[in-house]
Amino acid sequence: MSALARAAGYRQVRVGPLSLRVRPRAAAAAMVVLILIAGGAAFALATGSLPIPLDRVLAAILARDVPPDVAHVVTGVRLPRVVLALLAGAMLGLSGAALQALTRNGLADPGLVGIKEGASLAVLALILAAPALGPGWRLPAGMAGGLAVALVVVLVARDLSGVRFVLVGIGVSWLLASALLVFITTADINDVETALVWLAGSLHAAEWTLIPALALWGVLGAVLLFATARAADAMLLGDAAAKGLGVRLRLAGALGLAAPVLMTAAAVSCVGSLGFVGLIAPHMARLVIGGGQAAVLAASGLIGAALVLLADTAGRLAFAPLQIPAGIVMTLAGVPLFLFLLWRRRDQI
C-alpha cells in the first residue's frame, strides 16, 4: 500500500486470497449506524398499542409458537412497515448522493429536480381517477411519472452537471407542485383525504405485496450506482480531467441519472413524498464517514434507512393513538438538522 493511501487513513486487510483497502474509522462508523438500525428496528417491532417482548417478536418472525394476535401484529403489520421504511430510506439516501455527485451541487436532491413531484403527481392522478385500484398499481404509475419528468428536465437543460440542470429542475418541481394543489382542490373530498395522507409520506398502509418490486428496483439502482462510483469520482474533477482518465461521460451521466430516478420514483410511489432524506443523508455521510463516492453511497443508504425508520417510529408513537406521517416528522426534524450540517460544512460548500 502506498504512503499516500496510509496517510489518507486506509489499511490493507487480507481475507484468504482477497486483499481489501479499508478505513478503520469509516468501518467503525458504519458499524455504529448498522447497530443503531438494528436497535431501532427491534424497538419499532416491540412497541405500539400492543407492547410485545423482544423474545416474542423473535419467535413470531421465526414462526414459532406465539398467539395468533401477536404473530399478526409482528409479521403482518409492524415488520412490513419496518422493512418498507428501511428500503425507501436507503433508496432515497442513495439517490440524493448520486444526484449531488452528478450535478456537483450539494443542494441537489430528488425533490429539487422534480423527480419526486413527477412520481407524486402520477400516483395522485391514479388515486383520484381510479380509487378502486390497489396500491400495487402505484409503483408503475409513479415510475412512469418520475421518468417523464426527468426526461423533460434533461431535454430542456441539455447538461447534467451544470447549474442549469438544477435550475430547470427547480422550475419543473414548482410547476408540478402547483399541479398537485390543483388536483387536490378540485377532487372529491373523500378521495382527497386518502391522497393527502399518502402525499404526507405515511407508511401506515405498508404491506408485503409492495416490498418485492421495491427491493428489485432498489437493488438494480444500487448496482448501477456502485458500478459507476469510480467514474463519478473522476467526474468531480471536471469533464476534461474525467475524459483524460478514460471516463465515457455520456454513458456515466446517463447511468448516474437513471438509477436515482428509478429508485426515487419507486420509493415515492410506495411511501409518498418523503422530503429531506435525499438531501440530508449524503451530507451526514460525508461528515461522519467521508471518502470516495462508493463510501458516500454506502453511508448515505444506511443513514437514509435509519432516518426514515426513526421518523416513522417517532410519528407512530409520539402522539399515539394519533399517527403523524413520517414525511411530516422528517420535515420538522430535517430543517434544523440540515442547517446544522450546512454550518458544519460552511467552508466546503
Residues 158-168 pLDDT 10s: 776 667 777 88
**The pLDDT of residue 306 is above 90:** yes
Pairing assessment for the beta strands 11-15 and 18-22 based on DSSP bridges: antiparallel
Residue 320's Cα: distance from chain center in Å?
26
d(CA 202, CA 179): 21
Q: Give the integer Cα–Cα distance in Å for 255 and 167.
A: 21
Beta-bridged to residue 18, according to DSSP, are 15
Alpha carbon distance 108, 95 (integer Å): 10
Cα separation, 283 vs 278, in Å, equals 9
Over range 46-67, report the average pLDDT: 85
Grid coordinates standing for 212? 418485492
238-246 CB contacts, 8 Å cutoff, 24+ apart: 239/161
DSSP assignment letter at 99:
H
Residue 188 CA to residue 193 CA, distance in Å, equals: 9
Per-residue confidence (pLDDT) for residue 304, from 0 to 100: 92
pTM exceeding 0.85 = yes
| pLDDT, tens digit (0-9, with 9 covering 90-100), for 111-140 | 777 788 888 888 888 877 777 777 677 788
pLDDT confidence of residue 5: 64
Nearest alpha carbon to residue 149 among 115, 124, 183: 115
In DSSP terms, which residues pair with 22 in a beta bridge?
Answer: 11
**Does position 239 have pLDDT exceeding 80, yes or no?**
no
Q: What is the CA radius of gyration of the chain?
A: 21
pLDDT in tens, 181-207: 887 777 777 767 777 777 777 787 778
Contact in structure between 260 and 266 (CB atoms under 8 Å):
no
Report the chain's mean pLDDT, rounded to a whole number: 82
Is 309 strand, coil or helix? Answer: helix
Tell me which residue of 81, 93, 127 sits closest to 325, measured CA to CA.
81
Cell numbers representing residue 79 in the block? 415488520
